[in-house]
Amino acid sequence: MRSLQTTTLADFDGRGAGTDAERRAARWLAGELVASRQRVRIETFWCRPNWALAHGWHAALALVGSLISVGDPLVGTVLLAVALASTVADEVLGTSLGRRLTPERASQNVLASASRETASREATRLIITANYDAGRTGLIYHDAFRDSAARLNQATRGATPGWLGWLAIAISYELAIAIVRIAGTHPPAFLGVLQLPPAVALVLTLAVLLETAGSAYGPGANDNGAGVAVAIALTNALATDPPRNLTVDLVLQGAGDSQGIGLRRYLRTHKHSNAIVVGVAATGAGEPVWWISDGRLVPLRYARTLRALCAQTGVVPHRGRGVTPALLARATGLPAIAIGCLDDRGLAPRSHRRADTFEAVDDNAINRAIGFGLDLIAAIDASLAQTTETATATPA
């Protein structure tokens, strides 16, 4: 059936990270969860969510360093090294020089618990999470670019770095040439020829990032309104029929699209050493999939045990090069897995496009995603029960 969460979230026009529309959506989601008799709270946090502008600063600094290195290799090397370090720090730590030069905004996480207060404290915590904000609709998300990236990813079986990895490679290339200039062992004209391709790539990257940084927000019905609908449906189902070895929490992330800021802040505030995270990506079109790996800089594999459980369901795996709602949990060392629905190209249809409206959402895809999610959680619960029985039966 049609999802109320998908419908209304898409009606919050322009609900980008840190916007008034996102905060109104958070209050509405909290009201819906309260109506379903769940314990709900909203946690506000401050962030700098314009990732495109942040990395635009990095590309610009690298470009300036490249140009300066022709006349002053030492200064150029320092600028390029700072640009590279800041690019990597932004992905790994969530903060960087470029990020500090972007506007700060308030966002919110919507938290709910599907478990009774009497649930065992020894039970493993299952965190179901999805981002409820909508992404921008820049040129980079045009079908031509997305198709090319998808074909490359499929052809290399996911062995290539993400787009941020390519940016880091271009900056590293320029840095290496600047260092060679300091040594003075190669003719300047020869180095200039070598320096040109990555410099052109940096110019194009800067243009695309700046265009994306100022583009409008899409409706986000599939990506990720449908993911929110599935996450809530899973939580409600588990509240009705609780798993024996899991306590269930729902985390609807603010500022989560393409960067997972909301989940990063949640995990910093709530220290969970005994938790499993299931992230729900776009589920409004295509067939159910689970992610083997993900990441914009370098591929990061999801938890081996969870991948094995997913493989037993018969659902198709996928190697991503973006940021799913579970990636930041995996980056902190927690066992995590991401699920969603993709088309035969390995893409979420209409993601970050103005055409990503409620009318285009496929109810059957949402229902298949819910079924897959419940099967996976049942498998996780059964696996924990088996582990407990084995530990109990083992002599001290």
pLDDT tens for each residue of the chain, 396 residues long = 445 566 688 889 999 999 999 999 999 999 999 988 889 999 999 999 999 999 999 999 999 999 999 999 999 999 999 999 999 999 999 999 999 999 999 999 999 987 665 455 567 999 999 999 999 999 999 888 888 888 888 888 877 888 999 999 999 999 999 999 998 877 788 888 999 999 999 999 999 999 999 999 999 999 999 999 999 999 999 999 999 999 999 999 999 998 999 999 999 999 888 999 999 999 999 999 999 999 999 889 999 999 999 999 999 999 999 999 999 999 999 999 999 999 999 999 999 999 999 999 999 999 999 999 999 999 999 999 887 655 555 554
Same domain, 304 and 230: yes
Reading the block at residue 133, the tokens are 């904000």
Residue-number span of the structural domain to which 179 is assigned:
53-100+147-213
Tokens coding 236: 């409600």
Q: What is the DSSP string of 198-214?
A: HHHHHHHHHHHHHHHHT
80 domain-assigned: yes
The CA distance from 143 to 146, in Å, is 5
First to last CA, the chain: 52
Is residue 142 a part of any domain in this protein? no
pLDDT recorded at residue 116? 60
Domains: count for the chain: 2
Residues 111, 95 share a domain:
no
d(CA 274, CA 185): 55
Looking at residue 1, its pLDDT comes to 43
Task: Report the DSSP beta bridge partners of residue 291.
Answer: 318
Residue after which a domain boundary falls, among 164, 185, 213: 213
Residues 187 and 232 both lie in one domain? no
In CATH, what number is assigned to the domain containing residue 328?
3.40.630.10
Query: Given the DSSP bridges, would you call strands 275-280 and 300-301 parallel, antiparallel or unpaired?
Result: unpaired
Residues 254 and 300 in one domain: yes
- Please give the structure tokens belonging to residue 280: 């729900």
- CA separation for the pair 18, 107 (Å, rounded): 5
Of 182, 213, 244, at which residue does a domain stop? 213
Residues 112 and 206 in one domain: no
Looking at the structure, do residues 77 and 205 belong to the same domain, yes or no?
yes
The answer to the question of residue 303 being in a domain is yes
Q: Is 54 in contact with 102 (CB distance < 8 Å)?
A: yes
Q: What is the DSSP string of 108-175?
A: EEEEEE-S-TTS-TTSEEEEEEEE-S--B--GGGSHHHHHHHHHHHHHTTT-S--HHHHHHHHHHHHH
- Residue that terminates a domain, selected from 168, 185, 213: 213
pLDDT of residue 150: 85
Task: Give the per-residue pLDDT at 180.
Answer: 94
Contact 234, 374 (CB under 8 A): yes
**pTM for this predicted structure:** 0.92
The answer to whether residues 10 and 59 belong to one domain is: no
- Rounded distance between C-alpha atoms, residue 116 and residue 242, angstroms: 9
Give the per-residue pLDDT at 159.
78
Helix axes 163-183, 188-213, angle to 10 degrees: 150
On whether both 195 and 308 belong to a single domain, the answer is no
Q: How far is CA 299 from the centre of its chain?
A: 13
Q: Is the separation of the CB atoms in 90 and 96 below 8 Å?
A: yes
Judged by DSSP in three states, 46 sits in strand
Same domain flag for 230 and 378? yes
Type of residue found at 147: D
CA distances from 23 to 13, 15, 30, 158, 370 (A): 12, 8, 11, 36, 26
Q: Which residue in the block uniquely carries the two structure tokens 């840095």?
A: 175
**Residue 384 falls within a domain, yes or no?**
yes
The candidate with the shortest Cα–Cα distance to 123, out of 311, 381, 320, is: 381
Answer yes or no: do 184 and 287 share one domain.
no
222 and 109: one domain? Answer: yes
Cα–Cα distance measured from residue 249 to residue 305, given in angstroms and rounded to the nearest whole number: 20
244 and 196 belong to one structural domain? no
Cα–Cα distance measured from residue 252 to residue 150, given in angstroms and rounded to the nearest whole number: 28
